């Protein structure tokens, strides 16, 4: 697009109502005060409806934390290996629990079967993982790590764990344990619902 066209678009957007409002990264997280302000703004917008605001704040902060952590680790650790979060998770699951049926692997990695198919194509092309037919039931597909995949995850995981330590460094060890316990409770509640 020519520069003049960009200028026209900027003028049109700039004239739109509310364009000049200060917009922080409220839902994505910018600062502690932005997080609290986002919760207050949501409460003010929703008004007096009989809602569980404490539950909303807890769940939205889980979502925010997960996205911030995922983005940080993808940029700071996984980018060097050109891996997505999903690809890393697939490698990790196969490294810890060995060969998996594709449906079980998708569930453990927290991705759809369609997403897993794309991830596996990439991992196979790079020689990190391999699909094969199940020995007893040819309809089932098993996925396993190739030696190169084992080498990548064994080299990458310590750096990934350093990233985990960095993003949780503001918590004490007892707070980390308490947070893990509380999140397990939420996971169980969500899975039981």
Consecutive H or E run containing 122 = helix 113-125
Q: How many CB atoms sit inside 10 A of residue 125's CB? A: 9
Residues 142-175 pLDDT 10s:
999 999 999 999 999 999 999 999 999 999 999 9
Q: Is the model's pLDDT at 56 over the cut of 70?
A: yes
Sequence-distant (6+) residues with CB within 8 A of 107 are none
Residues 92-127 pLDDT 10s:
999 999 999 999 999 999 999 999 999 999 999 999
pLDDT tier, 32 (very low <50, low <70, confident <90, very high otherwise): low
Considering only CA atoms, which of 81, 89, 102 is closest in space to residue 155?
81
Strand 129-133, strand 141-145: pairing: antiparallel
Q: Is the model's pLDDT at 7 over the cut of 60?
A: no
Backbone Cα Rg of the chain: 22
Considering only CA atoms, which of 53, 31, 32 is closest in space to residue 44?
53
Q: Is the model's pLDDT at 24 over the cut of 60?
A: no
Residue 132 β-bridge partners: 142
Comparing 64 with 25, the larger pLDDT belongs to 64
What 3-state DSSP class applies to 114? helix
CA atoms of 140 and 132, how far apart (whole Å): 9
> Please, what is the end-to-end C-alpha distance for the chain in angstroms?
50
Comparing 148 with 134, the larger pLDDT belongs to 148
% of the chain residues with pLDDT over 70: 82
> What is the per-residue pLDDT for 130?
97
Q: How far is CA 15 from CA 1, 12, 18, 19, 29, in A?
A: 21, 5, 9, 7, 27
Q: Is the model's pLDDT at 128 over the cut of 70?
A: yes
pLDDT tier, 30 (very low <50, low <70, confident <90, very high otherwise): low
């Amino acid at each position: 697009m020519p520069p003049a066209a960009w200028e026209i678009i900027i003028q049109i957007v700039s004239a739109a109502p509310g364009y000049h409002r200060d917009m922080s990264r409220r839902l994505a997280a910018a600062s502690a005060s932005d997080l609290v302000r986002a919760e207050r703004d949501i409460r003010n917008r929703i008004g007096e409806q009989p809602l569980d605001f404490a539950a909303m704040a807890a769940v939205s902060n889980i979502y925010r934390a997960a996205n911030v952590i995922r983005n940080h680790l993808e940029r700071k650790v996984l980018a060097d290996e050109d891996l997505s979060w999903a690809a890393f998770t697939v490698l990790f699951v196969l490294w810890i629990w060995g060969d998996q049926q594709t449906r079980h692997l998708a569930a453990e990695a927290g991705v759809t079967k369609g997403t897993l198919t794309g991830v596996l194509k990439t991992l196979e092309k790079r020689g990190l993982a391999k699909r094969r037919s199940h020995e007893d039931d040819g309809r089932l597909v098993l996925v396993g790590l190739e030696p190169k995949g084992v080498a990548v995850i064994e080299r990458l995981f310590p750096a990934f764990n350093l990233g985990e330590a960095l993003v949780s460094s503001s918590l004490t060890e007892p707070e980390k344990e308490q947070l893990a316990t509380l999140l397990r409770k939420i996971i169980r509640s969500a899975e039981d619902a």
